[in-house]
């Protein structure tokens, strides 16, 4: 099996070298605390009396997670190895850096390693007098039935959920209210993806799973977790229709409702193809009587060099609209 070409030095050092590059490129936005190289902190985010927002997870999904650290969004991020949860210490360091005395909210996707390590971090923080709570994102509708939503994965919908919670914290909402907003945003966010090819990890430079040429897998996860259906590659409109059928049925929004939409590249799929997908998504939403308040198109939650895309729809209300529109200034995202 041929190696996938990559512009790296040492696969085992890729995450740390990436972090060094990000801090060097964006010193006005982020820094790494002394003796905590896997923690990224916003220069202008944390402040006294503000609820701290800490996000985190495995690398390889950039700009998720560390790209959303900045004023008005996340205050700090704990960074794991490629597709691996960060250990507790970077999460602790991130929480300490983000703490303004009003509590710290951990936000991350629903993966076993993340849950275990962030829970350990929260317990250790409590011993030091910092209250830490957790909201786990579960927007991937393909990963578990609706009745078991708490078992679903968190994927590209993280962008909208983090955005709403970060804005609430920036507006000085109380700890209870920031947590409520995060849960409310998660409950109204729905994502499904399609993979067209595998990705390759820096350490191996070989495909991490097999997906034959000319086939696609609907519902595959961002680490290559099994989807709901594998079959021949279909047209962009057919793929968008299959995904939108699932999202619209789950969301069950009445005509006249407003939505925020994300058409996301998993890494290798170019903007041309994303906008072709978005044209069909907009058509379907219009046919359902829904109004698009905000649309994002591009690589917002990737899976290294995987070919494919995901579609996220958030059913917004007046509060979520204000929070989604609230200004933020991050390394890889501004609004």
Written in H, E and C, the secondary structure of 144-189 is CCHHHHHHCCCCCCHHHHHHHHHHHHHCCCCHHHHHHHHHHHHHCE
Eight-state DSSP code of residue 200: B
Peptide bond into 63 cis (omega under 30): yes
19-60 pLDDT, tens per residue?
999 999 999 999 999 999 999 999 998 999 999 999 999 999
Distance (Å, rounded) from C-alpha 297 to C-alpha 14? Answer: 27
Confidence band, pLDDT 50/70/90 cuts, at residue 209: confident
**Widest pairwise Cα distance in the chain:** 55
pLDDT at 104 over 70: yes
213-257 pLDDT, tens per residue?
899 999 999 998 989 999 999 999 999 999 999 999 999 999 999
- 61 phi, psi to nearest 5 deg: -110, 15
Distance (Å, rounded) from C-alpha 8 to C-alpha 51? Answer: 37
pLDDT computed for residue 1 by the predictor: 57
Told to judge if 315 belongs to the known catalytic residues of this protein, a careful annotator would answer: no
Give me the catalytic one of 61, 184, 293, 326.
61
pTM of the shown model? 0.97
Provide Rg for the chain, Cα atoms.
19
- Is residue 118 helix, strand or coil? helix
145-162 pLDDT, tens per residue?
999 999 999 999 999 999
Told to judge if 61 belongs to the known catalytic residues of this protein, a careful annotator would answer: yes
Closest CA to 189 of 279, 100, 316, 36: 316
Give me the catalytic one of 26, 29, 184, 223.
223
């Amino acid at each position: 099996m041929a190696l996938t070409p990559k512009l790296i030095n040492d696969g085992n050092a890729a995450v740390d070298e990436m972090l060094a590059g990000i801090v060097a490129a964006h010193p006005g936005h982020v820094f790494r605390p002394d003796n905590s190289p896997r923690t990224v902190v916003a220069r202008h985010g944390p402040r006294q009396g503000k609820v701290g927002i800490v996000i985190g997870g495995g690398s390889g999904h950039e700009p998720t997670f560390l790209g959303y650290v900045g004023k008005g969004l996340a205050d700090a991020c704990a960074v794991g190895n490629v597709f691996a949860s960060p250990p507790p210490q970077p999460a602790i360091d991130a929480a300490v850096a983000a703490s303004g005395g009003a509590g710290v909210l951990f936000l991350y996707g629903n993966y076993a390693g993340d849950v275990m390590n962030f829970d350990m971090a929260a317990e250790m923080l409590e011993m030091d007098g910092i209250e830490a709570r957790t909201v786990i994102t579960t927007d991937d509708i393909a990963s578990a039935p609706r009745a078991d939503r708490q078992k679903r994965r968190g994927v590209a919908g993280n962008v909208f959920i983090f955005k709403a919670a970060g804005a609430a914290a920036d507006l000085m909402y109380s700890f209870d209210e920031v947590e409520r907003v995060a849960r409310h945003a998660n409950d109204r966010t729905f994502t499904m993806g399609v993979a067209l090819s595998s990705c390759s990890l820096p350490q191996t430079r070989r495909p991490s799973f097999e997906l034959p040429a000319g086939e696609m897998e609907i519902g595959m996860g961002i680490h290559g977790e099994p989807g709901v259906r594998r079959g021949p590659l279909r047209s962009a409109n057919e793929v968008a229709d299959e995904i939108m059928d699932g999202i619209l049925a789950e969301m069950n929004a009445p005509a006249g409702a407003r939505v925020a939409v994300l058409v996301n590249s998993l890494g290798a799929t170019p903007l041309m193809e994303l906008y072709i997908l978005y044209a069909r998504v907009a058509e379907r939403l219009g046919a359902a009587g829904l109004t698009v308040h905000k649309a994002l198109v591009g690589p917002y939650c990737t899976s290294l060099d995987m070919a494919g895309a995901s579609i996220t729809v958030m059913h917004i209300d007046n509060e979520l609209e204000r929070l989604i529109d609230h200004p933020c200034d991050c390394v890889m995202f501004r609004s």
